[in-house]
Amino acid sequence: MKHKQYLPLTFSLAAIGLLFTGCATEVKQADPKASQVINASQISPQEWAQAADKLINSLLSSGVLDRAPQLPSIMGVSRIINNTQQQVDTDSLVKKLRVALNQTGKVITTTTIGLGGKAEDPLAKEAAEYNAAMSGEKASVTMPYWTLSGKLLEDRVVSGKNTQVTYTFQLSLTQVKTGLAQWEGEEQISKVATRPGVSW
Amino acid sequence: MKIASMKLLPTAVFAVLVFTAGCATTNVNSVERADPQARPNFIADKRIITDASLAGKVKILAVNEGKVSGDHLKIQVRVENNRSKTISVRYRVEWVDAQGMMLPTPTDLWKPLIMQGREQGVIEAVAVSPLAVDFVVKIQET
């Protein structure tokens, strides 16, 4: 008799337990090398990296990097302007490019010369200055042979229920001595989103 | 009986039209030099098929290999969409050094490739590392 009394309570607890199980957020590991979520209004880091890879292919195919008088040549990273509507970590994007360019063995990036006099690695800059002061020599800075600059752009075209968004990644490699862009590349990623006929 | 079948004719014609419209092709026509001046360096390749359906849809025609920027391996895999409608696949190129070790790069990712009906496309990649001597091209249907 007492057991029967507890029966509804047991069922209620089981039902609540099932309910919470159903509400649990499903999480699974994703391949960081693949874009598994496609969103027309946003561009994923993987998609920027895809564009970056194609730009590196283009830069290597051009043979421009071999024109430097000594290899590996020094490259400084200039400004990457983000003209898209979304927040893009341009430093992270540039880092991918830098790592890949470094792997070519043709370019090394300076971390003590940056835009507006700001060093990416201030400690390295200070240490070099300190060493120079201690040895009584004038501090010398190795100037870059190349600078890398770029721009991220976004264009939207709407026609009826369809919206086409085109993201453009532009890069320029400038020879510091002449101030001329020796190589320029552009990659585009285009997406079309269709609005549903009935919106709730 | 004859009148009944005549009544059904417009319905049948309409059905055929709807069916044909739904299967509209996006085939690509092209023109090129009859006697190409380019001399590609096509290499012998080994294919590992685990998705027979994809192999039927996307045909690998040839693999062209060359060197850029002195010592960097460059490949172009010519592929063809065997179907009469647009196909979307993704591919990834992995590079291998002389010891058979994979050479990972931060931009080594799955990339999309969209081909119109019966269109030929190119999967192109340049090895970032000059140590690359071999490659593996992976293709997957999306």
Q: Is B74 on the interface with A (CB under 8 A)?
A: yes
Q: A171 vs chain B: nearest CA distance in angstroms?
A: 16
Read off the DSSP letter of residue A55: H
pLDDT tier for residue B1 given thresholds of 50, 70 and 90: low
The per-residue pLDDT for A48 is: 87
Q: Is B108 on the interface with A (CB under 8 A)?
A: yes
> What's the CA dihedral at A107, A112, A116, A122 to 10 degrees?
150
Asked if the structure places residue B41 within a domain, the reply is no
Cross-strand bridge partners of residue A186: A170
In this prediction, residues A116-136 reach a mean pLDDT of 83
User: pLDDT by residue (tens digit) across B80-136?
Assistant: 999 999 999 999 999 999 999 999 888 788 999 999 999 999 999 999 999 999 999
Q: A168 vs chain B: nearest CA distance in angstroms?
A: 16
The per-residue pLDDT for A135 is: 85
- Give the domain extent around B66: 52-141
The per-residue pLDDT for B108 is: 82
Q: Contacts for A133-141 with beta carbons within 8 Å, 24 or more apart?
A: A141/A112, A141/A113
Q: How far is A101 from A52, CA to CA, in rounded Å?
A: 11
State whether the Cα torsion B125-B129-B132-B136 is positive or negative: negative
Instruction: Please choose, from the candidates B137, B40, B119, the residue with its C-alpha nearest in 3D space to the C-alpha of residue B82.
Output: B119
In this prediction, residues A168-182 reach a mean pLDDT of 96
Inter-chain CB proximity A31 and B110 less than 8 Å: yes
A99 contact residues in B (CB cutoff 8 A) = 105-106
Q: How far is A123 from A139, CA to CA, in rounded Å?
A: 15
Asked if the structure places residue B134 within a domain, the reply is yes
Inter-chain CB proximity B105 and A106 less than 8 Å: no
Task: Return the CATH number at B74.
Answer: 2.60.40.3230
Task: Return the CATH number at A162.
Answer: 3.40.50.10610
Domain count for chain A, please give it: 1
The per-residue pLDDT for A47 is: 87
Nearest Cβ partner for A66 among B69, B105, B111? B69
Cross-strand bridge partners of residue B27: B117
pTM of the model: 0.78
The per-residue pLDDT for A147 is: 95
Inter-chain CB proximity B68 and A65 less than 8 Å: no
The per-residue pLDDT for A69 is: 94
The per-residue pLDDT for A26 is: 78
User: pLDDT by residue (tens digit) across B19-70?
Assistant: 555 556 678 899 999 999 999 999 999 999 999 999 999 999 999 999 999 8
This model of the complex carries an ipTM of 0.76
> Which residues have C-beta within 8 Å of that of residue B53, sequence separation ≥ 6?
B141
Q: How far is B23 from A129, CA to CA, in rounded Å?
A: 71
Asked if the structure places residue B5 within a domain, the reply is no
pLDDT tier for residue B16 given thresholds of 50, 70 and 90: low
Asked if the structure places residue B104 within a domain, the reply is yes
Tell me which chain B residue has its CA closest to the CA of residue A46.
Answer: B109
Query: How many residue pairs from chains A and B have C-beta atoms closer than 8 A?
Result: 73
Please, where are the H alpha helices in B23-101? 52-57
Inter-chain CB proximity B105 and A99 less than 8 Å: yes
Tell me which chain B residue has its CA closest to the CA of residue A32.
Answer: B109
